[in-house]
Structure 1
């Protein structure tokens, strides 16, 4: 990862490097969101501002933090901006009184930022962010790596017309959760379903600090073996986006904290195509998923670590273990 980041920065002009580089302790490192840049101004260097060789190195850096499936998902979400722009343009032409100026949908308006100096020994981090993609990586002492928050979104959740009709970039997130929900008996569903109406968005939104949500829903210690396997498959959808070392670390942490303590909660309608929300929560992590906007065809999903987002837990351990005068 350090090598990929160093090569990327080395390919930039002095002006571009200044634009893409920040101090590790900069407030910018935790300044994040998943909404369009027009409504949340961002800093960093966009793909649009890069030449072809720089773009390749930027994508190599992205590949260093993600699995193959994770990289393909991130790239597909970026490309989906073009589809969304076409759909919105078509919609506006049929409206008698279009509301406000349209947002500019641009598949190259994704910002790369590096915090500190990439090194195999020191502490640094990087981020790629734009509409519906927000990925944060922190390297502590050259070896300890954290990835969080990790956000993916999709609008539309399912492309229902045009040449990409049927495309569901984040379909696995919905299908795995729905399979678990449908495996529950009536009594279990009564515990898991918190409300027949889904919230308008993820409850934690883009908060820097988050706390466990209540209620938990149904916990893994009350599930049978098949249901536990379905819960594991759902969690693995999210863990599987990350590079193998990050995925292994996440799995180890949730197992150490107690798989039986993980809860699954649902809100909204249970029929596919309707507005719905769910969360999976353990002692150390939270998954939130919301599909309510655009009449249930617009997904927001995120993995959060209660103590590990932005590498905070690892940074604390690093400070404790570093001798001070």
Structure 2
């Protein structure tokens, strides 16, 4: 399969108006049939219809939207320009992470995974019409990836649920580059846990074991009623900085301007944000698990057993208790 790439633009376009412009420019490259697949009604039912599984394993909950395997080179270029503007610009985050996850799925396809894997099986959809007025959502995802940016009246009002996963966890070469963006998040979590003394580790240790994230697809608003772990107010200044750095690895999935705004909000809630973990501090072995649970932020990182390759690989989800799906709730 041909792979169409575009580099991140030198000038960052973070305004909703520019994103709307690029969304319309992408749509303008499509055929009538592709348009029908791309444009979906904005509803909570459509918004919650995402997953981290390959499309052919989803049964009745298959993704709706435009299968990107139908795109031409020109259409890929237009889609990449939109994704680049709507997501973060830093290395191993945002647009760069998306490209590496697509490379990973091609790598799985080519190394035993077969036709269920590969970037051609990812989907893009517009829930509602891209506009500076009203509500619409840019939805892009496939195996190990869910992007859900919701805009209301020209403002990004929600960038969650946001799912990231990748297999293998070891660095692999594909598409001319070395890939493994989530080693960055793993290192941030390991640095945080390694900074804890024995007393802090005892408070942070969770009683349960976890084989995956709790709040994956289909688990909307299922946040635990009881907060567990060590509270941010009990951390030293240097440890709070490590906690914020770990949060940043997920918030940086959205465009830089909005990421800074969201991160500042989470920073203001650090005193009441809890860290809990299970199994080892390395966050590199099967069943290693960590969560960040704040008044707003919820992040989980879980090491899963390998599927195509033998080594464990990460699943991670970022949710926001107030702005999941742009604040749309049942």
Query: Per the shorter chain, which TM-score range?
Result: 0.7 to 0.9
| 1:79 counterpart residue number | 103
Match of 2:223 among 196, 212, 217: 212
Q: Secondary structure at the match of 1:155?
A: coil
* Cα-Cα RMSD: 2.4
Tell which deviates more after alignment, 155-164 or 23-32.
Answer: 155-164
What SS class does the counterpart of residue 67 from structure 1 fall into? Answer: coil
* Deviation of the 1:233 alpha carbon: 1.0
1:194 aligned counterpart, secondary structure: coil
Moved more, 102-111 or 61-70: 102-111
Q: 2:314 aligns with which of 293, 299, 315?
A: 299
Query: What whole-Å deviation, never above 9, does each CA across 1:261-310 have from its counterpart, x for those lacking one?
Result: 11111112234642201011110120011113226621111110112111
The change in CA–CA distance for 1:162 and 1:58 in structure 2 (over 3 A counts) is: closer
1:284 matched residue in structure 2: 296
For 1:88, the equivalent position in structure 2 comes to: 112
Deviations 1:68-93 (A, max 9, x none): 2310101110111122234436xxxx
Between the aligned partners of 1:19 and 1:227, the Cα distance in structure 2 is: 47
1:114, 1:163 → 2: CA distance? 28
Gap regions ≥5 residues in structure 1: 90-101, 317-325
Query: Is the alpha carbon distance of 1:245 and 1:56 closer, same or farther for their aligned partners in structure 2, counting shifts above 3 Å?
Result: same
User: Aligned match of 2:38 in 20, 35, 45?
Assistant: 20
Unaligned runs of 5+ in 2: 1-18
Q: What is the 5 A alignment of 1:152-231?
A: 152-159=164-171, 167-195=179-207, 198-207=209-218, 209-213=220-224, 214-231=226-243
Change (3 A) 1:200 1:127: same
In structure 1, distance between residues paired with 2:136 and 2:175: 42
Q: Which residue of 2 aligns with 1:321?
A: none
Select the residue among 263, 281, 290 that pairs with 2:274.
Answer: 263
Structure 1 residues 271 and 246: alpha-carbon distance in aligned structure 2, compared to 1, 3 A threshold: closer
For residues 235 and 148 of structure 1, the distance between their equivalents in structure 2, rounded to whole angstroms, comes to: 14
CA distance in 1, matches of 2:191, 2:118: 34
Alpha carbons 2:69, 2:120 under 8 Å: kept:
yes
Alignment partners' CA distance in 2, 1:137 and 1:116: 12
User: In structure 2, what is the Cα distance between the partners aligned to 1:118 and 1:108?
Assistant: 24
CA contact (8 A) 1:136 1:150 kept: yes
Q: How does 1:93-108 map to 2 (within 5 A)?
A: 104-108=116-120
Could you tell me whether the CA contact under 8 Å between 2:240 and 2:270 is conserved in 1? Answer: no
Aligned residues: 301
Contact 2:186 2:284 in 1 (8 A): no
Indicate the residue corresponding to 1:310 in structure 2: 325
Contact conserved, 1:183 with 1:227, CA < 8 A, in 2? yes
Distance of 1:160 and 1:53 partners within structure 2: 28
TM-score by length of 1: 0.85
Distance 1:150 1:272 in 2: 20
| Partner Cα distance (1:208, 1:62) in 2 | 26
TM-score by length of 2: 0.84
The structure 2 residue matched to 1:58, chosen from 79, 82, 99, is: 79
Superposition map of 1:5-44 within 5 A = 5-25=23-43, 27-40=45-58, 41-44=62-65
